[in-house]
Amino acid sequence: MLELKNVSYKIVEQGQERVILDDISCIFDNNCLTAITGHNGSGKSTLTKIVMGIVRPTSGKIFFDGKDITSLSIDKRAKLGINYAFQQPVAFKGITVKDLIDIATGEENTTDKACEILSKVGLCARNYLDRDFDKTLSGGEQKRIELALALAKSGKCFIFDEPEAGIDLWSFEKLNNLFDSTKCNIVVSHQERLLKNADKILVLENGKISKYGDSKQVLKSLGSAYCEKLKEEV
């Protein structure tokens, strides 16, 4: 279980203090898919980066399985079982897809095993293993491989920042099936189809939680007009 207690994040721009997240308290349960949504600039990605340790909160505490991880580094959080898939995958010149799969799993994988990992995101390993994970791959290919790498890691909590970005040709049904129901899954998304698949939805507005609870109830309270507005911002 992941818990945030009174988490805030502030920055200073041109001498002015700006609040990005304001007193966020929530629990992300195990065996649960929680979707984080909200308009652009509401603090969604910042919240997940704080969970991963990429960004440090100005105040507040973060607990994972009862342990205070607020001051822990990214790698120490990863060792505890927290994994993160970026909205925009980072390209690595000179590192092959096979290299990254081996790093993610912590072992030397056979071609068959690598194929099994990539097939989960609709890719054939034999076409990608020897290719560098760089700009020669399309945005959609990079995104799918990034998802496969995240899922290949052992862990208890998986964070996906807009996993649907760049994979329009890949069905949302397959994307929804990727999430392991036995884990704590956190997904940042604007897409109503992903929100409907979630167990819970957390809505951020201006850095604050405006709604949080059962996905059906939250979607009903938001209305279709809100979801359509979110789509326009993608």
Token duo for residue 101: 């799969």
pTM (predicted TM-score)? 0.82
Residues in CB range of 75: below 8 A, 6 or more apart? none
How does DSSP assign 2-54, residue by residue? Answer: EEEEEEEEEEEETTEEEEEEEEEEEEE-TTEEEEEE-STTSSHHHHHHHHHTS
Measured distance CA(149)–CA(104) in Å, rounded: 6
Report the DSSP beta bridge partners of residue 188.
36, 161
CA torsion 178-184-186-192 (nearest 10°) is 60
196 CB-side CA count, 13 A: 9
Q: Going by C-beta distance under 8 Å and a sequence separation of 6 or more, which residues neighbour residue 123?
A: 141, 144, 145, 148
pLDDT string in tens for the chain (234-residue length): 999 999 999 998 888 889 999 999 999 999 999 999 998 889 999 999 999 999 999 999 999 999 999 999 999 998 999 988 876 656 667 788 888 889 888 888 888 888 888 888 878 777 888 888 887 887 778 878 888 888 788 789 999 888 776 555 455 566 667 777 778 999 998 888 888 889 999 999 999 999 999 999 998 888 766 666 666 665
Residue 134 has a CB neighbour count (10 Å cut-off) of 13
pLDDT of residue 2: 95
Q: What is the CATH number of domain 2-232?
A: 3.40.50.300
- d(CA 124, CA 121) in angstroms, rounded, equals 9
Predicted pLDDT of residue 228 = 64
Q: Residue 68's pLDDT is what?
A: 97
In this prediction, residue 20 carries a pLDDT of 95
Contact 137, 145 (CB under 8 A): yes
Nearest 10 degrees: Cα torsion 206, 212, 215, 220: -70
Domain definitions of the chain by residue range: 2-232
What SS3 state is found at 117? helix
Cβ atoms within 10 Å, residue 215? 17
Quote the CA–CA distance of 74 and 112 in Å, as a whole number.
31
